[in-house]
Structure 1
């Protein structure tokens, strides 16, 4: 009988000791370390492609010779080319810290946008005819400085710099049959240079793929042209909205 009590007491003591030891192991276990994902860095080169739409605000003012010494005839037009644009862009960002990112960006877009404006007129000799002003943008580009405020993978920014565009223009007098009057036509193909400013945002979808959306206003200034019996001036401004995707190296 005593042996039976002794065995039962020993088993109870052993069970209690094992439970206490297991509790100590649980209580003293170190928490697993938390591994934080590294913060995204905007610093680096990037290059990509973009598409969008462009609409312009153009004044084309012309005058023509009414005598040997006088350009007394005047006609003004507003041919406003608009349409689809597409091209490439590239640049470099540098993260200054405290969420501030600066950079440089250059781009080129092709649009082949053209528009003409025509006015019917009655000449001094009673003949009818028309004047036509036409403008065509072949391509445009810019080189800009950027500054942005990064919030993790989002970066709204503003940008500004120099812009340039290849623009064809013409100013013509036509007779009642629609034919150009000899000596009363002028045209030119010129690279206009001006300034541009815009705002947008970049979003780093991955560490290497960056999406972009942007609005831009550009003033290419004005240029004077002259040929034969015609003189005219082109004042060319554009508004663009663009989206793009770039690869960050």
Structure 2
């Protein structure tokens, strides 16, 4: 009886120890898994892309002009209006092209009886593709025709700047300022300078 009691007591003590070891072993096999938090990846904003300005275009312009010359008593001014046509080629960042325009003029110096009848221009254009906007520089050759006391025509040069805006795939509006120079007009001893500013509407096709 004494041996039976002695033998049973250690057995009773061993059972909790075995159970504790089992629990500890099970906990070691099933360690918690740490899930890393998602990292935010920066997304670059889309860069602005230019428009394709390549193609033929034609349109009309309405503007204002003023003449200055030592051979005239005053600096006459008046309306100018006409038509233009050209071609542009889009190189990506830069846009190059050529244009011809023709203006009829209402400018007249009544005291000297000299009138500027018309101006024909051949232009070279270089612009920057800014999407729907096209700022540009232009220069070329101009032929002016006068009437009255100075009934003649002569050729000079001009330069200036302009800005076009694409309203739709086929319509553009813009503005242009030009400075002209006609030295010794028609072999006379005086030069004629002209400044013009115009609003333009062009149709692409």
The normalised TM-score by structure 2 is 0.72
Unaligned runs of 5+ in 1: 1-37, 61-76, 118-132, 171-187, 226-231
> Alignment partner of 1:80: what SS?
coil
Work out which of the residue numbers 140, 144, 162 in structure 2 matches 1:200. Answer: 162
**2:68 corresponds to which residue?**
57
Q: Output aligned runs, 1:89-128, within 5 Å.
A: 89-97=84-92, 99-117=93-111
Task: Name the structure 1 match of 2:140.
Answer: 161
Superposition deviation, residue 134 in structure 1: 3.0
SS at match of 2:75: coil
Using a 3 Å threshold, how does the CA distance of structure 1 residues 224 and 240 change in structure 2: closer, same or farther? closer
Question: Match of 1:80?
Answer: 75
Please state whether the residue corresponding to 2:70 is helix, strand or coil: strand
In the TM superposition, what is the alpha-carbon distance from 1:224 to its structure 2 partner? 5.5
Instruction: List per-residue Cα deviations over 1:181-205 (Å, max 9, x = no partner).
Output: xxxxxxx411111000010111111
Q: Any gaps of 5 or more consecutive residues in structure 2?
A: 1-48
Structure 1 position 40, deviation (Å): 2.7
Report the CA distance shift for 1:79/1:135 in structure 2 as closer, same or farther (over 3 A).
farther
Contact (CA 8 Å) 2:178, 2:197: kept in 1 or not?
yes
1:244 matched to 2:167: no
Q: 1:39: Cα distance to partner?
A: 5.7
Larger Rg: 2
2:50 & 2:94 partners in 1: Cα distance? 14
1:1-249 aligned at under 5 Å gives the runs 40-60=51-71, 77-97=72-92, 99-117=93-111, 133-170=112-149, 188-223=150-185, 233-249=189-205
Distance 1:134 1:80, change over 3 A: farther
In 1: Cα distance, 2:75 partner to 2:101 partner: 23
Q: When you count strand as a share of all residues, which structure comes out higher?
A: 1
Query: Deviations for 1:85-113, whole angstroms, at most 9, x for unmatched residues?
Result: 1100110000112x100000110011132
Matched residues in 1 for 2:52 and 2:89: separation? 9
Within 1, Cα distance between the matches of 2:195 and 2:178? 6
Q: Is contact 1:79–1:134 with CA below 8 Å preserved after alignment? A: no
Distance 1:205 1:242 in 2: 18
- Cα deviation for residue 169 of structure 1 reads 4.9
* Distance (Å, rounded) in 2 between the aligned partners of 1:45 and 1:243: 19
Question: How far apart are the structure 2 equivalents of 1:137 and 1:105?
Answer: 22
- Partner Cα separation in structure 2 for residue 105 and residue 48 of structure 1: 11
- Distance (Å, rounded) in 2 between the aligned partners of 1:224 and 1:45: 35
Q: Give 3-state SS (helix, strand or coil) of 2:184's partner.
A: strand
